[in-house]
Structure 1
Amino acid sequence: MDEFGDVATALTVGVASTGLNNCLGVAAAAAWGQRDRPLESDDVAIDEQIRRRAIYAVLSGAPPNDIRGVTNFGSEDSRLPTDFSRTAIGLDTSYEIGPDQPPAVMVWGSSATDFALATTWDRTYGEGVWVPDEWWSETPMRERVALAVERVFRRNADLGRQIRITSTSLDLEEVSRQIDEVMAQIAGSYPDRPETQIARADFEIVSPDSLPFSRYHKQRYTVRDQYATQWSATVGDDNGSLTMETLPPVPAIDDPELRNVRSLSWQVELTLVDHEIPGTRPLPNRDLLRAGEPPYRAHIRSSNDGIAFESRRFDLISAGASVEWQLARPMLRFPSLFDWAGARAQLRGLTTSLSTPGAHAELLAGLIGSRDHLADLFAGPLADGLHAFVTATRRSDPTVLPGDQGWIAHGEAFLTFHGCRLPG
């Protein structure tokens, strides 16, 4: 980050480098960052009032104002960036909207796995909160912890997100007991403000392995104000796969704060509109590259919504090469669902072939023009006639699979594309 110069070295708030050898030091460093390398030392005595304010700020998401000793200096300016936010210069957060918004997760417990689960959830979906139970065990700290928890509940109620409470180190009965104490503490702090009260209907206590890890709503960093001004041409084959016949856009960065950092590397993700690939499932490079494309120029992988590769080339780059020749521009192949299934099967030494109905459908699609035209015909003018061939039974109504994964009809399962993409 030193290559950012004055932009990165401006005044920021971070965690103190010595004396925080406890849960507060770990939680504060995860929330606000720590510019200097932590130094092994004896615990430093911190004023109790500052410690309480720091714990409240960490839990509630408030800015780290005026808590010098926990942070490297004290400030009452809430707009001052933190060391953690400094690492996202020139970047914006984005995510893919989809069904079933993930809940906010509050992880109760002081173990490393509790911290890891809360932090992983927060970095992936946002609203992951770590509550070390050792803080709740301190009677003077209970009011601050309870008020911070109440703020988390209120914020997520405004966001329309459910709240799940869990722990990897405590049994759920102990978690439930401590949450009951938190609810009582909040009720005692605001006896005349019923809108601040927390009820059992506002949250659910669950085991860690039951948390729903959705492929949607995952947060990712993207370059700010990056707009594509180039285009590429693709050609389709008989199986529906699309292959680039011209170079993809140059993955150069336009942001003035980032483009001059020589050591900077980033990920490039390419997607084609109306041509989805089952995400997060790996395929060999040969199935993601145009025939004859050298596989060593770029590190390519399946991504959430398409194909991703590292921005820098991995082969020989001549001195003085322009930006266009320093960056990777692989000619990619976007497999159809049929070719994708075949590539996945080959990883286990298997092959795929069309079933008899599938072969008939493929033949009809070729006669009509495409599978899209065939689907429109079957769903439209021919629908009533096709239904007349189906023998009516008491169990003719299809069973809908959960999560829009497909249906079971006449003893056979039919998966939607979303169902094919789900893990498991």
Structure 2
Amino acid sequence: MTCPFGGTCTGSTLRRPRRYLSVSSPGLGLKLWSGRYRMLEWRLLCQSGGVADEFRFLTLRAFARPPRLLVVVPSAEAQWVRWAAAGLGALSRVWGGCAGAVVPASVVDHPALADVMRRMQPDHVLEYAPSGATVEGIYPGAVARALGGLEGEARRQAEDIARTEAWNLGGLPDLEPAIAALRERLSVNAIRDAVQETHLFDDPAQMGLTALADVAVRPVLGVPFPLVTTPTALAYAARVGVDLQAPIAESLVPDEARWRDGVTQRAGTVLLDWLHPASPQDTLALLDPAAARCVRLDRDRLRAEPVVVVGDRPEDFALAQLAGLVHGPCMWMPWQDPSPFTIMGRFPRWRGPGTIRVTSASMSVQDVEARMHTMWDRRPRAFVNGKEVDDKAFVCVPVEDLRTRGNSLYVHEQAWDLPRSLPATVLPDGSLEAALGLPAEVPPGLDAARDKWQVLLVASDHPLPPHRTLTGDALHAGQGNVWETFVRAADGGITYSSHRFDFVPRGASLAGTLAAPRLRWPSLPAVLAMAAKPHRVQPSAAGKRAAVAERLLGSRAALEDFAAGPGWDLLQTFLPGQQHPGQPEDGWWSLKTSVVMTFRALAATPLEPEWDTSQRRAQVDEWARQGLLRRGLALGCQECPAFEFYPLEEITQHYRCRRCGAGNDLTQARWKTGTSEPEWTYELHPAVAELIDNNADVPLQATRYLRRQARGMRPLMAAEFEILRNGEPFVEIDFALAHADEIWLGEAKKTNALGDVHRDIKRELCKLLDGCRAVAAHRLVLATAAPAWNTATLTVARRELHGLRTAGKYAPDVYLLTAVGSSTPAFELLTPAQDATPVRQ
């Protein structure tokens, strides 16, 4: 049958009526609806060079969300609060400002902000470009000084332009170098050498972004810009937003106590009471997600984990905003003497010990503890049955210990978690390529001719970590247009701007203006290969054996379950010297190339838990079907005395000896036993035999445990691989995992040490850390089947981490996975301090 799309028919099904049809067409997948046919499904085999690739439908969840903005503002020491307030004012006027943050330029490289900025995953890093009116509000008389000796009508017109347009009359620091470095570090904003959005202006009409006023359906208000002059006022303004144009009455100017009340109270309705008493009852704060038709999603976490930031420096201000976006509810307390009920008033639901984490970017942990314990000691004492109740709900931690599972994002309230199905081909390396572009839909309340949004596509069984290499060409499928829109990995999936970035003809249709990129979901080996450049990544010998076993069993998860079950122990008896005394002597033979066994020998092997004969029979048949076991006969040769195993498919009445090539007849003299008929024997697949012989069950059970601990999206797994430097392997990694927000590498041992002596341990650990650095991994997992790692390994690991972090060098978090394969494995974070002990996570 001829395909209407230029392909050829090779087999598929129709529903109602029952007919059979199939189409193969390069890169195409369709679902057609027609008349009395309820649905016509074309199953397509995508062909490349005559070799058919595997084809599947990729199940996705689609989200529409506002762009996440990271705005860099000038940071003059004496006026940093005012500049931060001005940046908040411009951010508050943009749709989705609730998902953005303002960072003073002086702290963009602060080490306390590096990880939280990475986890924020901004879509745009923008330079704040204030209007002349804003500059005048910070530096009174700036406009007059810039205009010099102009007089009359020329001066009036120039003054109007200077106040309304972006300030370009000098006097402001150059932020571009800091912003360029930040964009490079976070891998945002760019399509090769082009940048989509560069500046954030006070006037939304000058932006390539959507104004909040165009989207909001209720009145919105914020803190008048002239009032934000202290860190405490800024802390409240960061909650509700800043209005750059709101007038103020002198009688409404609040004092510091009023600002503190606004920071510590739960509801934002206090804004309407004392700053805008005449506002309508349905007024919302500028940074309220509801004002932007948005809701906040916390994914892959059981509950939010509140954070309190203390300190009155610019880095504390930036940390509080970013922590609120990444970790959960956050409160910034820049004042010196908080009241005993400050935290409880803001977070009344979190009462458990240590459930609220207190930190600072400018203060040491000791200083934070002193401030907080002084506050706590002033609380009124409570007694129950004569005993004092100390329900202290906070714990003081350094910034690097703010580890929160999952991620948060603000999405359009009516356009999130929408099911989609995208035709895709499976490439030889496991990557998925979309067969068709997926046009964006216009979310309710938005105008495609005016508004812009981000499209997020998440595949639950194929997460993508937000790695710096996963952008542009890495995510565009073959023949895709990289100039169509900026595409990158974020939030565990692929995100792109809703509108086309390349040439759009005048009068184009909606489909012609919206982006519909051809996408690729790289496999974890492909991600690692891109991340390690210029180094090369290749499967190790163990990785190749694991790939063979995965192919036989169907998946990595099936191989992990096999390694954790009694079948692993049963097949271990195929290894030379591993036969059990209970097996009959005439039930197995050790040949030159392998050990072969009869079913009688397998049935006599003790197992824990026990399998009865019928279970073993069914399992052996299943293994034979999969190819783990090969059924055949052990036959000899009439010319030489060698016995060899001949698989079932090679057995004929006449066969040739594998050793000498002599011809033989299948007669009683040729089989191993003297019985009247031969007995089937089984040989273990060589790749599986080598896996078992090399203790591959330890890394397999380690990844099985880590897979089961993951929440939400199932992580991607990769078997053993090597990273090459100058063509030579310098490190072998036992396993790799990719979550929605991180890459983990792992080393698995049956013993409890990385080496025999201190020098060997340090060499092996440094190679592993070097491998993590090469691919920018976030965690290194040290797994062992022993109950615990030995003291020498832990000491070396702590010292290395302590030295790297003290020197400000890259160092991944190191986790210890012990008792792998037992009923009580433990997963712990290794602290870098030399005198510390692992803290259970």
TM-score, structure 2 length as denominator? 0.41
3-state SS, counterpart of residue 186 of structure 1: coil
Q: Give the unaligned 5+ runs of structure 2.
A: 1-93, 95-203, 205-210, 576-691, 710-731, 746-776, 780-811, 813-841
Alignment match of 1:221 (pick from 390, 405, 410)? 410
Alignment match of 2:502 (pick from 315, 321, 331)? 315
Alignment match of 2:541 (pick from 356, 365, 370)? 356
Question: Is 1:60 aligned with 2:265?
Answer: yes
Alignment of 1:12-411 (within 5 A): 12-37=220-245, 51-65=256-270, 71=275, 73-74=276-277, 80-85=283-288, 88-98=291-301, 103-134=305-336, 136=337, 145-157=339-351, 162-187=355-380, 199=390, 201-212=392-403, 214=404, 216=406, 218-226=407-415, 228=418, 231-248=421-438, 250-255=439-444, 257-258=445-446, 260=447, 262-283=449-470, 285-345=472-532, 348-366=533-551, 371=556, 382-387=567-572, 404=706
Report what 1:139 is aligned to: none
Contact 1:293 1:331 in 2 (8 A): yes
Contact 1:108 1:114 in 2 (8 A): yes
Shift of 1:380: 5.2
Letter in 1 for 2:299: E
User: For the structure 1 residues 300 and 416, does the alpha-carbon distance in structure 2 shift closer, same or farther, using more than 3 Å as the test?
Assistant: closer
Shift of 1:173: 3.7
Contact 1:12 1:80 in 2 (8 A): yes
3-state SS, counterpart of residue 382 of structure 1: helix
Question: Alignment RMSD, CA only?
Answer: 4.1
Partners of 1:247 and 1:105 lie apart in 2 by 41
User: For the structure 1 residues 14 and 368, does the alpha-carbon distance in structure 2 shift closer, same or farther, using more than 3 Å as the test?
Assistant: closer
Shift of 1:208: 2.5
3-state SS, counterpart of residue 317 of structure 1: coil
3-state SS, counterpart of residue 308 of structure 1: strand
Shift of 1:233: 0.5
3-state SS, counterpart of residue 262 of structure 1: coil
3-state SS, counterpart of residue 330 of structure 1: coil
Shift of 1:35: 2.4
Partners of 2:572 and 2:250 lie apart in 1 by 77
3-state SS, counterpart of residue 370 of structure 2: helix
Shift of 1:328: 1.0
Identity across the alignment (%): 22
Partners of 1:230 and 1:180 lie apart in 2 by 52
Letter in 2 for 1:222: V
Contact 1:285 1:300 in 2 (8 A): yes
Partners of 1:412 and 1:327 lie apart in 2 by 42
Partners of 1:180 and 1:303 lie apart in 2 by 39
3-state SS, counterpart of residue 157 of structure 1: coil
Shift of 1:102: 6.3
Shift of 1:161: 7.7
3-state SS, counterpart of residue 221 of structure 1: strand
Computing the radius of gyration over CA atoms, which structure comes out larger, 1 or 2?
2
TM-score, structure 1 length as denominator? 0.77
Instruction: Give aligned pairs, total.
Output: 392
Shift of 1:26: 0.9
Shift of 1:85: 1.8
User: For the structure 1 residues 34 and 113, does the alpha-carbon distance in structure 2 shift closer, same or farther, using more than 3 Å as the test?
Assistant: same
Shift of 1:19: 3.5
Give the number of the structure whose residues are more often strand, by fraction: 2
User: For the structure 1 residues 199 and 103, does the alpha-carbon distance in structure 2 shift closer, same or farther, using more than 3 Å as the test?
Assistant: farther
Partners of 2:258 and 2:503 lie apart in 1 by 54
Contact 2:459 2:493 in 1 (8 A): yes
Contact 1:65 1:76 in 2 (8 A): no
Shift of 1:280: 3.6
Contact 2:298 2:408 in 1 (8 A): yes
Partners of 2:733 and 2:502 lie apart in 1 by 49
Partners of 1:298 and 1:226 lie apart in 2 by 20
Partners of 1:123 and 1:303 lie apart in 2 by 14
Residue deviations 1:152-188 (CA, integer Å, cap 9, x gap): 3533238x98112222333444433332332233317
Partners of 2:702 and 2:419 lie apart in 1 by 43
Q: Give the unaligned 5+ runs of structure 1.
A: 137-141
User: For the structure 1 residues 386 and 265, does the alpha-carbon distance in structure 2 shift closer, same or farther, using more than 3 Å as the test?
Assistant: farther
User: For the structure 1 residues 198 and 397, does the alpha-carbon distance in structure 2 shift closer, same or farther, using more than 3 Å as the test?
Assistant: farther
